[in-house]
Chains A and B, each alone.
Chain A
Amino acid sequence: MNAGAALALYVMGAVTVLVLVLAVTPLGARGRRVPEVLALLGLAATVAIAVAQWGERQTAFSGELRVDRFGLLLAILIVIAAGATILLSWGEPAAAGRRPEFTGLVLAAATGMMLTVMSGDLVTLFIGIELLSVSLYVLCAIEVARGQSLESGLKYLITGAIGTALLIYGFALLYGVTGTTSLEGISARLGAVGSPAPEPLFIAAIVLVVVALGFKASTVPFHMWTPDVYQGAPTPVTTFMATGTKTAVMGAFLLVFTGATHQASGDWRVVIGAVAAITMVVGNIGALLQDNIKRMLGWSSIAQAGYLLIGVAVGTLAGTESVIYYLFAYVAMTLAAFAIVILREREVENGDHVEALAGYGRARPWAGVVMTLAMLCLAGFPPLAGFVGKFLLFGSAVDADMTWLAIVGAVASVVSVVYYLRVVIVMWAPPPGGRHEVRRLGVPRAVAGVAIAAGVAVIALAIWAQPVLDVCADAARALMIP
């Protein structure tokens, strides 16, 4: 019980406020990089604190916040995604004239994501999810002069708000059944027999929370906003939504289901399993038809959410461990793919079309290699990190007698090979007008750095899978064994 346990969140909050204050402070030409540098320093400090705090669970504010290995590990992943987003938006035209606001909102969203995964109470969880959502609504629409950006912001806001309303109702019913909003309290009440409220209310609560978190994590049938919003938002924001939001919402799924209502897993396993199966199938089929690479990656992120949900549906220690590992792999490969898209968008008009990548692999081989790695990893080719993660997820489903889920996942992965490989083929095929027709500009070093680092991470996570998995297992144990 010490308020100091939440130090990482204080640092994030303070840096966010500082950067947002810079938005109303005249910085001058010399100070124009101050917001980004300040933000990156703050993120580095947060990672350092998280590493230093690695250990047994500490709580702050009467258990509202839980600082344990689970929360800290996901927080580190979120901070990495936020840092990469800030680097990817270096010199981004979409944020021109609004650098401090852009950076500050990314930090605010990251703080919300951290709050989500470190929450020990439904109220804190809700505040975290809302802080991240509200910041992202604004970030999507930050390019006020472009109609698509505004449209994506409004679409995200409306669907997100419906998700929020359903989440509240689900949490209200969960509170009604258990009489407490504390995650540990819920777990204890469900473990004890003789709850006065009827069982149907609990089922309704489970369904509503799955639906509401599904809106935020873009799982079928609440995914329809995803391709539009991913396409319309500025690409660095799309990157952050795909990586950070997914991590935080999967963390919320794990906290509410695998953590708090584990005693009632019989009631939710089938619900989440069914959502996972439909999501994998629909996501991969939707991606087949796309010519815009941001839209395609949007559909692909729907499918990836389905793979991740397998580990939640399973509800075992092995399942949780593989979800966390796959989140690391997913963030690395998504960052790599989007970094190349951002690179291309800066060079040509409509750089987010698949055809814009024609011959790009020959013109700029390192970018071609990174994109190829990302696509092969997303498709789950061995020996990359995506394969290791999927192997573990499907394996955990088989071990938990949910073999059907593993089969659906494997079939869906085979379908996904088609559209991932299409990008690879387009990149390495000779361009229509010969090699010199591929227009190249100077590479922004920050973007190239993120691309290469993410490409290396895709391989490194597979080579050093065992040590990473040990850490993930520690986190899973912290979640499941209080």
Chain B
Amino acid sequence: MSVPIGAYLMLSLALLILGLIGVMRRRNPLMLLLSVELMLNAGNVALIGFSRLWDDPSGQVFALVVMVVAAAEVVIGLGLVVAIFRSRTNLDVDEMSSMRG
């Protein structure tokens, strides 16, 4: 009838480990953010699974809150990445202009 709690836990654990591997092996900040997102969603799956196990809605509320927070974190992360790329080009341009005679 309903999905057993073990299935939820296996899925969330798999997502968590995938995310952890990504965080440790990737070097691109965008890929790091994606991996962290996987880990956050692993937590969400676990929260919703336990929410069904206990028949208690607070786990689902928690998962909704996590989604909002994850969105905020990604926005800041992308903003920083863009700022870093911009400052790099700026630096190059400055160097070029300083060599004018």
Query: A residues engaging B (CB < 8 A)?
Result: 122-123, 126-127, 130, 134, 137-138, 141, 144-145, 147, 150-151, 153-154, 157-158, 161-162, 164-166, 168-169, 171-173, 175-176, 179-181
A141 touches B59 (CB 8 A): no
Q: Residues of A contacting B58 with CB < 8 Å? A: 123, 175, 180-181
A161 to B81, CA, bound (A): 15
Q: Could you list 15 examples of A-B contacts with CB < 8 Å?
A: A122-B62, A126-B62, A126-B65, A138-B76, A145-B87, A154-B84, A157-B73, A158-B33, A164-B40, A164-B69, A165-B42, A168-B66, A173-B46, A176-B50, A179-B53
Q: Residues of B contacting A166 with CB < 8 Å? A: 39
Known contacts A158-B32, A172-B46, A181-B58: does B87 contact A130 (CB below 8 Å)? Answer: no
Known contacts A176-B50, A176-B53, A181-B59: does B83 contact A158 (CB below 8 Å)? Answer: no
A169 touches B43 (CB 8 A): yes
A165 to B35, CA, bound (A): 10
Q: Which listed residue, B51, B65, B72, B80, touches A154 by the CB 8 Å rule?
A: B80
Nearest CB in chain A: distance from B73 CB, A? 5
Q: Residues of B contacting A126 with CB < 8 Å? A: 62, 65-66, 69
Give a binary string over B74-92; 1 marks a CB under 8 Å from any A CB, 0 the rest. 0011001101100100010
Q: Residues of B contacting A173 with CB < 8 Å? A: 46
A169 touches B46 (CB 8 A): yes
B36 touches A162 (CB 8 A): yes
Give a binary string over B23-36; 1 marks a CB under 8 Å from any A CB, 0 the rest. 10000010011001
Q: Residues of A contacting B53 with CB < 8 Å? A: 176, 179
Q: Residues of B contacting A181 with CB < 8 Å? A: 58-59, 62
User: Is chain B's binding surface mostly helix, strand, loop or mixed?
Assistant: helix
B83 touches A141 (CB 8 A): yes
Nearest CB in chain A: distance from B39 CB, A? 3
A403 to B91, CA, bound (A): 55
A-B contact count (CB 8 A): 115
Nearest CB in chain B: distance from A180 CB, A? 7
A138 to B69, CA, bound (A): 15
Which of A126, A151, A157, A158 has the most B CB atoms < 10 Å from its CB? A157
Q: Residues of B contacting A158 with CB < 8 Å? A: 23, 29, 32-33, 36, 77
Q: Which residue of A lies closest to B81 (CB)?
A: A154
Q: Which listed residue, A123, A153, A162, A175, touches B50 by the CB 8 Å rule?
A: A175
Q: Residues of B contacting A162 with CB < 8 Å? A: 23, 36, 39
Q: Which residue of A lies closest to B49 (CB)?
A: A176
Known contacts A127-B69, A130-B72, A134-B72: does B47 contact A172 (CB below 8 Å)? Answer: yes
Known contacts A150-B83, A154-B29, A175-B59: does B73 contact A164 (CB below 8 Å)? Answer: yes
B36 touches A168 (CB 8 A): no
Query: B residues engaging A (CB < 8 A)?
Result: 12, 16, 19, 23, 29, 32-33, 36, 39-40, 42-44, 46-47, 49-51, 53-54, 56, 58-59, 61-62, 65-66, 69, 72-73, 76-77, 80-81, 83-84, 87, 91
A104 to B84, CA, bound (A): 23
Nearest CB in chain B: distance from A153 CB, A? 5
A157 to B32, CA, bound (A): 10
Nearest CB in chain B: distance from A142 CB, A? 10
A179 touches B56 (CB 8 A): yes
Q: Residues of B contacting A137 with CB < 8 Å? A: 73, 76-77, 80
Nearest CB in chain B: distance from A144 CB, A? 6
Nearest CB in chain A: distance from B24 CB, A? 10
A165 touches B39 (CB 8 A): yes
A45 to B29, CA, bound (A): 41
Known: A165-B16, A165-B19. 4 other contacts (CB 8 A): A126-B65, A127-B65, A157-B77, A164-B40
A181 to B43, CA, bound (A): 14
Q: Which listed residue, B36, B43, B54, B76, touches A134 by the CB 8 Å rule?
A: B76
Q: Which residue of A lies closest to B8 (CB)?
A: A176
A320 to B16, CA, bound (A): 33
Q: Which listed residue, A123, A147, A164, A165, touches B87 by the CB 8 Å rule?
A: A147
Instruction: Rank and list the top 3 A-B pairs by shortest CB-CB distance, nearest first.
Output: A168-B43, A165-B39, A176-B50
Nearest CB in chain A: distance from B30 CB, A? 11
A154 to B23, CA, bound (A): 14
Nearest CB in chain B: distance from A164 CB, A? 7
Q: Residues of B contacting A138 with CB < 8 Å? A: 76
A137 to B33, CA, bound (A): 14
Known contacts A138-B76, A150-B84, A181-B58: does B23 contact A169 (CB below 8 Å)? Answer: no
A162 to B22, CA, bound (A): 11
Q: Which residue of B lies closest to A144 (CB)?
A: B83
Nearest CB in chain B: distance from A139 CB, A? 11
Nearest CB in chain A: distance from B49 CB, A? 8
Q: Which listed residue, A151, A161, A169, A180, touches B77 by the CB 8 Å rule?
A: A161
Which of B39, B40, B56, B76 has the most A CB atoms < 10 Å from its CB? B76
Nearest CB in chain B: distance from A328 CB, A? 30
